[in-house]
Structure 1
Amino acid sequence: MKHTLFSRLLRDRGGNFGIMTAAMLPVLLGVAGVAIDVTNAMQEKNRLQALADAATLAAASAMADTGEMTEAEAETMATNYFLGPELENQKNKGASDAENADTRKALEEAMQVTATTTASSNTAASYEVRMKLNYDLPLNGLTGVLGFKTIKIAVESYAQSGREGNALSMYLALDESGSMKDYTSTVNPAQPTKQESYPCGWKTCYRTVPNYLTKMASLKAAAAAMFAELDKADPNKELIRVGGDSYTHETKTEQKIQWGTTDIAAYVKKLPEPPSGGTDASGAMTNALNALKKANATEKTAHDGKGNTNFDRYIVLMTDGEMTGNSSSWNSTIDKKVRALCDQAKTDGLTDAEKADGISEEEKARGIKIYAIAFMAPQKGKELLNYCASGEDYYYEPTNMTQLVQSFGEIARKAAKTGTRLTN
């Protein structure tokens, strides 16, 4: 009897599934946990990579923009740029201040940020910011069944900013007519107020009023910003040549194109305050065209001497008014003359056949490119400068000093082809 019961027990398979399930359950839970954690890890890696890219790019751009940021300052900026959004993300998930402090410490220990500045003999400085992160991401409890507590996430980002090595010759045609003595809406930060006299009965009284900057003072500040950008792009004065001429209804003595910005900066500083006279840009534009045109070998010879086999040619035409000549009324003859000079500049170097067939964008790029700035100008002035500009990206219409300074600075960066690029 005992033998029979024992034999039946051995042959019974009724509980095998339960036993096998109990034995395999931890493994099944672990596998499910791994699948969840792998998906989460990939999402987290992508998110951290995006943060790292944004951080290195921001720091590299800032180094190039200021030109004065130290490597240590750039490293701190990149670190904070990364940690700020990440800690905010943890806080939104419910992390306490203490937990956020632990997260910050862990990330700082896992992060390596380096910023470097390099320079070569014929270009401006190049700025590089690199970030590496090897972070242990905690796993969920299901994966812990298999004995794994964390998974390592590796992120690396590299950003570089700097000048592309563009050689150029630039000529400024600047308005110094009487309307340039008018005030802008910008208060002089160095002396925000001034005393103004006014009659009060039998005596003269004085009151304090805002001290607004004139258009001429604004132009000088904007030109200084441009020259600073050009100097930053070409510290060794081997790539960029600048000259210029100012005008009223008469064309003033020009500043010949020279290497760097020293001579033209001194020229602009000496523009008269208060200015006077009417407006006729045709003489200054003629001088600009003659200085830069292909038939004049001066610029090519100068650039060849520095090893610049190719260089771009730019005219910066600025006015705050319309073409009036020595009067207060718009002069259509002068306006047409300036337009014709702009056409000649933009097509300089093209053959007659190319001009007759219509000018393509590629052919336009071979001519002299014109940046046009209509500073607080009336409609006729805007229409003229919009016509002269070499495209939408070459036309500016600032209405105050801040915008004027930004315009001149942006023109310098565009012409010098200063840019920021990201490499991972």
Structure 2
Amino acid sequence: MILPELTRLVRDRAGNFAITTALLMPVLLGTAGMAIDFTNALEKKTELQALVDAAALATASAMSDKDMTDAEAQAFAKRYFTSHADQVTAPPNETPEEKAAREAALLNGLTVGATTTNSSGNGQTFNVRMTMTYPLSLNGLSRALGFKTLQISVTGDSQSGREGNALSMYLALDESGSMKELTSTINPAQPTRQESYDCSTLFFYKTCTRTVNNYLSKMASLKAAAAGMFSQLKAVDPQSELIRIGAVSYNDTTKPEQTVKWGTASAASYVGNLPDVPAGGTDATGAMTNAFNALKKANPKEVTEHSKKNNTSFERFIVLMTDGEMTGNSNKWNSSIDTKVRNLCNQAKNDGINVYTIAFMAPSKGQSLLSSCATSADYYYQPNDMTALVKSFGDIARKAAKTGTRLTN
């Protein structure tokens, strides 16, 4: 009796689809889960690649700008990466413990190589390679097949360099009365200050004080930005054998100049001693005349000085900066002065001098003048706050000294 019943059960085809579906369901769900995780992995890989590239670029640039050791560069790269990694790797509603574990996993999977290579003269090349391996957690459907994590690997290579470009530079800087005006940048060293105000009542006269934001003036911003440029140029030429710099300031008159000297120290001191509370109108003709006369081909001084250092060739640069328009000793635009400055700029450019211009929070006529004076659009800057001003001076330093940063992978 038993054997026939078993034989009939084996031959029975009823319910085969349900049984087959039940048997295959874990595999089907796991496959769907893997497809979702694969799409997510591609997205995370793209995001991590962008983050690694950004960190490598920032590190190579910092090595060039700040004279870092290789060990300091590696630490910088790790700090940069982890500080920006949350936007890519942090899940929603993460607990402090989960965050600590995730960041530990990030650092454990991050490898940084930073090297400095000396080339001919004072030239240097900085190479950074970053490799990131990150364990991406898989969803519950994928785990049904026994997979818990998927390893994502990305690599970023970046290179920056100092080519040791010999140059002579002359700064023509505005110290007119408008340079005492405040910017939108708060002084990081002293973010607040005490301000007096009239708090009199109907019967009593009284002066009170209150705490207000302490904004940097345009002049303070100029000094900080120029100091950053001098620091970058000094890093390129620590022995003062490639770079010569002079400077002059102006309002409606031309101030005593700092003649062109080797290195950055003399010009840095000159700019640092510009008046904290400047005054006067704006007339750059004398400053531009000084700059042109110092660097023009007809003046053999710079050729002679560079020859003493065996610099067979060098470039010449003028940096003209103003926050206003040409007014002379007045508060109205003066077309005659404006035209004279334009002519001096053209004279310098025709002589082969590269002219950088910076219109710092300047009105339209000032922007028009400096845009025309610049060698090309790449030589014209129009910063409207201190951060942009610092970036402008830094960019000029990198271009003049022919330093650069690029991805190489």
CA distance, structure 1, for counterparts of residue 206 and residue 129 of structure 2: 66
Would you say the 8 A contact 2:319–2:355 is kept in 1? Answer: yes
**Structure-2 residue corresponding to 1:126:** 125
**Structure-1 residue corresponding to 2:299:** 296
1:371-424 deviation line (CA, Å, top 9, x unaligned): 111122222222111111112122222222222222222221222222113335
CA distance, structure 2, for counterparts of residue 202 and residue 155 of structure 1: 72
TM-score, length-scaled by structure 1: 0.70
Q: For structure 1, which segment, 252-261 or 125-134, has the greater mean C-alpha deviation from structure 2 after superposition?
A: 125-134
1:61-101 deviation line (CA, Å, top 9, x unaligned): 3433444470431463587599889967xx89xxxxxxx99
Question: Is residue 374 of structure 1 aligned with residue 392 of structure 2?
Answer: no
Would you say the 8 A contact 1:56–1:78 is kept in 2? Answer: no
Cα deviation, residue 302, structure 1? 1.8
**Structure-2 residue corresponding to 1:208:** 210
Cα deviation, residue 112, structure 1? 5.1
**Structure-2 residue corresponding to 1:389:** 374
**Bigger Cα Rg:** 1
Would you say the 8 A contact 1:124–1:162 is kept in 2? Answer: yes
1:41-68 deviation line (CA, Å, top 9, x unaligned): xx99x97988765654443234334444
**Structure-2 residue corresponding to 1:165:** 164
Cα deviation, residue 224, structure 1? 1.1
**Structure-2 residue corresponding to 1:411:** 396
User: Residue 291 and residue 135 in structure 1: after superposition, are their counterparts in 2 closer, same or farther (change >3 A)?
Assistant: same
CA distance, structure 1, for counterparts of residue 110 and residue 215 of structure 2: 49
CA distance, structure 2, for counterparts of residue 132 and residue 289 of structure 1: 50
1:276-299 deviation line (CA, Å, top 9, x unaligned): 222110000000001111111111
Would you say the 8 A contact 2:59–2:73 is kept in 1? Answer: no
Question: Is residue 286 of structure 1 aligned with residue 289 of structure 2?
Answer: yes
**Structure-1 residue corresponding to 2:320:** 317
Would you say the 8 A contact 1:134–1:154 is kept in 2? Answer: yes
User: Residue 132 and residue 291 in structure 1: after superposition, are their counterparts in 2 closer, same or farther (change >3 A)?
Assistant: same
Would you say the 8 A contact 1:55–1:81 is kept in 2? Answer: no
Aligned amino acid, residue 166 of structure 1: N
Q: What's the secondary structure of 1:59's corresponding residue?
A: helix
Aligned amino acid, residue 184 of structure 1: T
Aligned amino acid, residue 394 of structure 1: Y
Match of 2:78 among 59, 76, 79: 76
Q: What's the secondary structure of 1:338's corresponding residue?
A: helix
CA distance, structure 1, for counterparts of residue 162 and residue 241 of structure 2: 13
Would you say the 8 A contact 2:193–2:211 is kept in 1? Answer: yes
CA distance, structure 2, for counterparts of residue 331 and residue 82 of structure 1: 50
Aligned amino acid, residue 187 of structure 1: I
Q: What are the ranges of 5 or more consecutive residues in structure 2 without an aligned counterpart?
A: 1-37, 93-98, 136-141, 143-150
User: Residue 402 and residue 198 in structure 1: after superposition, are their counterparts in 2 closer, same or farther (change >3 A)?
Assistant: farther
Question: Is residue 329 of structure 1 aligned with residue 332 of structure 2?
Answer: yes
Q: What's the secondary structure of 2:388's corresponding residue?
A: helix
TM-score, length-scaled by structure 2: 0.72
CA distance, structure 2, for counterparts of residue 345 and residue 57 of structure 1: 35
Cα deviation, residue 334, structure 1? 1.1
Number of positions where the alignment pairs a residue of Structure 1 with one of Structure 2: 365
Would you say the 8 A contact 1:122–1:238 is kept in 2? Answer: no
Cα deviation, residue 196, structure 1? 2.0
Cα deviation, residue 107, structure 1? 9.3
Q: What's the secondary structure of 1:377's corresponding residue?
A: coil
User: Residue 264 and residue 204 in structure 1: after superposition, are their counterparts in 2 closer, same or farther (change >3 A)?
Assistant: farther
1:168-206 deviation line (CA, Å, top 9, x unaligned): 111111111122222223232323222324372653402
1:305-326 deviation line (CA, Å, top 9, x unaligned): 2232222211111112211111
User: Residue 237 and residue 207 in structure 1: after superposition, are their counterparts in 2 closer, same or farther (change >3 A)?
Assistant: same
Question: Is residue 249 of structure 1 aligned with residue 252 of structure 2?
Answer: yes
Cα deviation, residue 114, structure 1? 2.0
Would you say the 8 A contact 1:122–1:239 is kept in 2? Answer: no
CA distance, structure 1, for counterparts of residue 196 and residue 346 of structure 2: 47
Would you say the 8 A contact 1:128–1:158 is kept in 2? Answer: yes
Match of 1:268 among 271, 274, 282: 271
Aligned amino acid, residue 173 of structure 2: L
Q: What's the secondary structure of 1:169's corresponding residue?
A: strand
Q: What's the secondary structure of 1:244's corresponding residue?
A: strand
1:100-133 deviation line (CA, Å, top 9, x unaligned): 9999999988875322234468436532223568
Aligned amino acid, residue 195 of structure 2: Q
**Structure-1 residue corresponding to 2:25:** none
User: Once the two structures are aligned, what percentage of the paired residues are identical?
Assistant: 56
Aligned amino acid, residue 196 of structure 2: E
Q: For structure 1, which segment, 199-208 or 224-233, has the greater mean C-alpha deviation from structure 2 after superposition?
A: 199-208
User: Residue 71 and residue 372 in structure 1: after superposition, are their counterparts in 2 closer, same or farther (change >3 A)?
Assistant: closer
Would you say the 8 A contact 2:55–2:77 is kept in 1? Answer: no
User: Residue 275 and residue 128 in structure 1: after superposition, are their counterparts in 2 closer, same or farther (change >3 A)?
Assistant: same
CA distance, structure 2, for counterparts of residue 269 and residue 102 of structure 1: 48
Would you say the 8 A contact 2:65–2:235 is kept in 1? Answer: no
**Structure-2 residue corresponding to 1:344:** 347
**Structure-1 residue corresponding to 2:407:** 422
Would you say the 8 A contact 1:251–1:284 is kept in 2? Answer: yes
Would you say the 8 A contact 2:244–2:264 is kept in 1? Answer: yes
Aligned amino acid, residue 63 of structure 2: M
Question: Is residue 194 of structure 1 aligned with residue 179 of structure 2?
Answer: no
User: Residue 293 and residue 55 in structure 1: after superposition, are their counterparts in 2 closer, same or farther (change >3 A)?
Assistant: same
Aligned amino acid, residue 64 of structure 2: A
Q: What's the secondary structure of 1:323's corresponding residue?
A: coil
Aligned amino acid, residue 216 of structure 2: L
Q: What's the secondary structure of 1:203's corresponding residue?
A: coil
